[in-house]
Structure 1
Amino acid sequence: MDNILLAALLFLIPILMFLKGTKKTSYSLSSTTTTVPPGSMGIPIIGQSLGLLRAMRANTAEQWIQERVNKYGPISKLNLFGKPTVFMYGPAANKFIFTSNMVANEPSKSTRMILGDRNLLMLKGEEHKRLRGAILPFLKTESLKRYVGKMDEEVKMHLDMYWHGKQEVKVMPLMKTLTFDIICSLLLGVERGKLRYELLECFEPMMEGMLSIPINLPFTRYNRSLKESSKIQKLLKQIVQKKQNELIKNQNNTSFEQDLITSLLGMKVEEGKQVMNEKEIIQNIMLLMVAGHDTSAVLLTFLVRLLANEPDIYASLLQEQEEIAETKLPGESLTWEDLTKMKYTWRVAYETLRLFPPVFGNFRMAARDIEYEGYLIPKGWQIFWVSAMTHMDNNIFPEASNIDPNRFENQSSIPPYSFIAFGGGQRLCPGIEFAKIETLVAIHYLVTRFTWKLLCADNFFKRDPMPVPTQGLPIQISPRKVYEKSL
Structure 2
Amino acid sequence: MDLLVFFTLLCLFSISLFLIKIRRKPSNRLPPGSLGIPIIGQSFSFLRAMRENTAEKWLEERVQKYGSISKVTLFGTPTVIIHGQAGNKFIFTSDTLTNQQPTSIRKLLGTRNLMELSGEDHKRVRGAVMSFLKPEVLKRYVGKMDTEMKKHLDMYWQGKEKVAVLPLMKTLTFDIICSLLFDLDLGTRRNDFLEAFQYVIEGLLSVPLNIPFTSLNRGIRASTKIKSMVRDIICEKRLAIEKQEAIPDQDLITSLLSIQGEDNEALLSENEIVDNVILVMSAGYDTSSVLITFMVRLMATDPVVYAGILKEQEEIAKSKTAIDSITWEDLSKMKYTWRVALEIMRITPPVFGAFRKTLKDAEFGGYLIPKGWQILWAANMTHMDESIFPEPSKFDPKRFENQASIPPYCFLAFGGGPRICPGYEFARIETLVAIHYLVTRYTWKLCGIDNNFSRTPMPVFPQGLPIQIEQKKTTV
Q: TM-score range by the shorter chain?
A: over 0.9
User: Does the CA contact (< 8 Å) of 2:88 and 2:410 recur in 1?
Assistant: yes
1:422-460 per-position Cα deviation (integer Å, ceiling 9, x unaligned) = 000111000000000000000000000000000125432
Q: Distance in 1 between matches of 2:300 and 2:280?
A: 30
Q: Which residue of structure 1 lines up, in the alignment, with residue 378 of structure 2?
A: 386
User: Does the CA contact (< 8 Å) of 2:98 and 2:117 recur in 1?
Assistant: no
What is the identity percentage for the equivalent residue pairs of Structure 1 and Structure 2?
A: 58
Give the superposition deviation at 1:19. 7.0
Question: Residue 401 and residue 12 in structure 1: after superposition, are their counterparts in 2 closer, same or farther (change >3 A)?
Answer: farther
Give the superposition deviation at 1:272. 3.5
- 1:98-113 aligned at under 5 Å gives the runs 98-113=92-107
User: Does the CA contact (< 8 Å) of 1:33 and 1:374 recur in 2?
Assistant: no
- 1:302-451 aligned at under 5 Å gives the runs 302-451=294-443
Letter in 2 for 1:321: Q
Letter in 2 for 1:434: F
Q: Which residue of structure 2 lines up, in the alignment, with residue 229 of structure 1?
A: 223
Q: Which residue of structure 2 lines up, in the alignment, with residue 3 of structure 1?
A: none
Q: Distance in 2 between matches of 1:105 and 1:158?
A: 36
Q: Distance in 2 between matches of 1:171 and 1:365?
A: 36
For the pair 1:279 / 2:271, whether they are aligned, the reply is yes
Give the superposition deviation at 1:329. 2.3
The one of 128, 150, 157 equivalent to 2:144 is 150
- 1:109-258 aligned at under 5 Å gives the runs 109-250=103-244, 254-255=246-247, 257-258=249-250
Q: Which residue of structure 2 lines up, in the alignment, with residue 85 of structure 1?
A: 79
User: Does the CA contact (< 8 Å) of 1:365 and 1:380 recur in 2?
Assistant: yes
SS of match in other structure, 2:351: coil
Instruction: Say what the alpha-carbon RMSD is for the aligned residues.
Output: 2.0
Q: Distance in 1 between matches of 2:377 and 2:335?
A: 29
User: Does the CA contact (< 8 Å) of 1:147 and 1:257 recur in 2?
Assistant: no
1:111-143 per-position Cα deviation (integer Å, ceiling 9, x unaligned) = 001111111111221111111111111111111
SS of match in other structure, 2:71: strand
Question: Residue 137 and residue 20 in structure 1: after superposition, are their counterparts in 2 closer, same or farther (change >3 A)?
Answer: same
User: Does the CA contact (< 8 Å) of 1:321 and 1:444 recur in 2?
Assistant: yes
1:57-93 per-position Cα deviation (integer Å, ceiling 9, x unaligned) = 0111111111111111111000000000100111111
Q: Which residue of structure 2 lines up, in the alignment, with residue 17 of structure 1?
A: 12
Q: Distance in 2 between matches of 1:424 and 1:183?
A: 24
Q: Distance in 2 between matches of 1:256 and 1:49?
A: 44
SS of match in other structure, 1:478: strand
Q: Which residue of structure 2 lines up, in the alignment, with residue 5 of structure 1?
A: none
1:176-219 per-position Cα deviation (integer Å, ceiling 9, x unaligned) = 00000000000111111111111111111111000101101101
The one of 289, 292, 296 equivalent to 1:297 is 289
SS of match in other structure, 2:391: coil
Give the superposition deviation at 1:21. 4.7
SS of match in other structure, 2:451: coil
- Structure 2 residue ranges without an equivalent (≥5): none
Q: Distance in 2 between matches of 1:245 and 1:256?
A: 13
Question: Residue 181 and residue 371 in structure 1: after superposition, are their counterparts in 2 closer, same or farther (change >3 A)?
Answer: same
Give the superposition deviation at 1:106. 2.0
Q: Which residue of structure 1 lines up, in the alignment, with residue 52 of structure 2?
A: 58
User: Does the CA contact (< 8 Å) of 2:15 and 2:39 recur in 1?
Assistant: no
Question: Residue 21 and residue 243 in structure 1: after superposition, are their counterparts in 2 closer, same or farther (change >3 A)?
Answer: closer
For the pair 1:454 / 2:454, whether they are aligned, the reply is no
Give the superposition deviation at 1:18. 5.3
SS of match in other structure, 1:481: coil
Letter in 1 for 2:266: Q
Letter in 1 for 2:11: L
Give the superposition deviation at 1:385. 0.7
Q: Distance in 2 between matches of 1:275 and 1:351?
A: 38
Give the superposition deviation at 1:27. 7.7
Q: Distance in 2 between matches of 1:206 and 1:381?
A: 25
User: Does the CA contact (< 8 Å) of 1:33 and 1:375 recur in 2?
Assistant: no
User: Does the CA contact (< 8 Å) of 2:14 and 2:39 recur in 1?
Assistant: no
User: Does the CA contact (< 8 Å) of 2:63 and 2:69 recur in 1?
Assistant: yes
Letter in 1 for 2:373: W
User: Does the CA contact (< 8 Å) of 1:103 and 1:364 recur in 2?
Assistant: yes
Q: Distance in 1 between matches of 2:121 and 2:409?
A: 26
SS of match in other structure, 1:24: helix
Give the superposition deviation at 1:268. 2.1
1:149-179 per-position Cα deviation (integer Å, ceiling 9, x unaligned) = 0000001110111011100000000000000
Which shifted more, 424-433 or 474-483?
474-483
SS of match in other structure, 1:272: coil
Q: Distance in 1 between matches of 2:116 and 2:14?
A: 29
Give the superposition deviation at 1:249. 1.4
Q: Which residue of structure 2 lines up, in the alignment, with residue 463 of structure 1?
A: 455
1:10-65 per-position Cα deviation (integer Å, ceiling 9, x unaligned) = x9467522576586225877xx9961000011111100000000011011111111
SS of match in other structure, 1:472: coil
Q: Distance in 2 between matches of 1:212 and 1:50?
A: 9
- Structure 1 residue ranges without an equivalent (≥5): 1-7
Give every structure 1 segment of 4 or more consecutive aligned residues whose post-TM-superposition deviation is greater than 4 Å.
11-15, 18-23, 26-29
Aligned residues: 473
Give the superposition deviation at 1:481. 2.6
User: Does the CA contact (< 8 Å) of 1:356 and 1:467 recur in 2?
Assistant: no
Give the superposition deviation at 1:224. 0.3
Q: Distance in 2 between matches of 1:20 and 1:79?
A: 12
Give the superposition deviation at 1:408. 0.8
Letter in 2 for 1:44: P
User: Does the CA contact (< 8 Å) of 2:132 and 2:138 recur in 1?
Assistant: yes
Q: Distance in 1 between matches of 2:41 and 2:141?
A: 46
Question: Residue 15 and residue 271 in structure 1: after superposition, are their counterparts in 2 closer, same or farther (change >3 A)?
Answer: closer
Give the superposition deviation at 1:296. 0.6
Question: Residue 432 and residue 15 in structure 1: after superposition, are their counterparts in 2 closer, same or farther (change >3 A)?
Answer: closer
SS of match in other structure, 2:221: helix
Q: Distance in 2 between matches of 1:100 and 1:271?
A: 31
